[in-house]
Structure 1
């Protein structure tokens, strides 16, 4: 009887260990794979230079100039088709920027946050670059958030 009890306890511990290991593995996979991106009607989408909802972006830039609170989501796609999400939020004083590249299997796969003083428009040879300037990110480098090419 004691032998039977020991065998049952041994298998119980084995099963409990497997369940815990499986649960840990599931949690690790959830951390690695971000949720699928679902496009929303208000998203400014840059599909390799073809930009939809550009008027929403221009409205955001205007609101920043007028010191009005606003926020948008800019989605640009990599060559492989991975969405890169950029969420600039203007609080009336600063732009708080979150750049999410976790869906890009070939990039850094990180989420970067910074605060910036404003947006600059740089016009060069048929295109306009919109750049977040005076940012708090390491190195203080400016960040290009959208490039509009004249057609």
Structure 2
């Protein structure tokens, strides 16, 4: 009889441990769920090449060159319509970049942060690519902020 009670207690404890672990996992998932994106009137929005507030982006690039503090958010949409948020904060010396792809159900769904020294403009075949340069952790990542195509 004692053996049976010990066995029952052992399985009860095992079940309780599994339930606690499962609850912890659910809480972790909730922490990384994306918040709803509400477009700000000041956002630079790239909807498949149609860019709004482009003058704000050019102003940000000028401020980086002049070493003036500034910040901006560039929002690019995927083919499926998911917003990809790229926040850039220039503190007068470095650009602090936060790229949030958590709303993209087909991509990595991550938040990537890095610090960069500046922005490079690359002109080719009727388009200009704006790319972060001299970053702390590029690791082969695409550091393109925005692509402007001449029309």
Class of the TM-score when normalised by the shorter of the 2 chains: 0.7 to 0.9
The normalised TM-score by structure 2 is: 0.80
1:1-151 matches, within 5 Å, as 27-139=27-139, 143-151=143-151
The 2-side partners of 1:28 and 1:139 are apart by 26
The Cα RMSD (Å) is: 2.3
Structure 1 stretch displaced more, 23-32 or 100-109: 23-32
The 1-side partners of 2:94 and 2:50 are apart by 28
Number of equivalent positions = 135
The 1-side partners of 2:119 and 2:63 are apart by 11
- Cα deviation for residue 57 of structure 1 reads 0.1
Mark the CA change 1:122 to 1:27 in structure 2 (over 3 Å): closer, same or farther. same
The 2-side partners of 1:95 and 1:84 are apart by 18
- Cα deviation for residue 31 of structure 1 reads 2.4
The 1-side partners of 2:141 and 2:80 are apart by 26
Aligned residues of 1:60 and 1:71 also touching (Cα < 8 A): yes
Mark the CA change 1:119 to 1:142 in structure 2 (over 3 Å): closer, same or farther. farther
The 1-side partners of 2:85 and 2:102 are apart by 9
Mark the CA change 1:34 to 1:141 in structure 2 (over 3 Å): closer, same or farther. closer
Please give the per-residue CA displacement for 1:90-131, whole angstroms capped at 9, x wherever unaligned. 000010100000010111110000010100101001000001
- Cα deviation for residue 138 of structure 1 reads 4.4
Tell me, what secondary structure is at the counterpart of 1:92? Answer: coil
The 2-side partners of 1:57 and 1:138 are apart by 22
The normalised TM-score by structure 1 is: 0.80
Tell me, what secondary structure is at the counterpart of 1:57? Answer: helix
Structure 1 segments unaligned to the other structure (5+ residues): 1-19
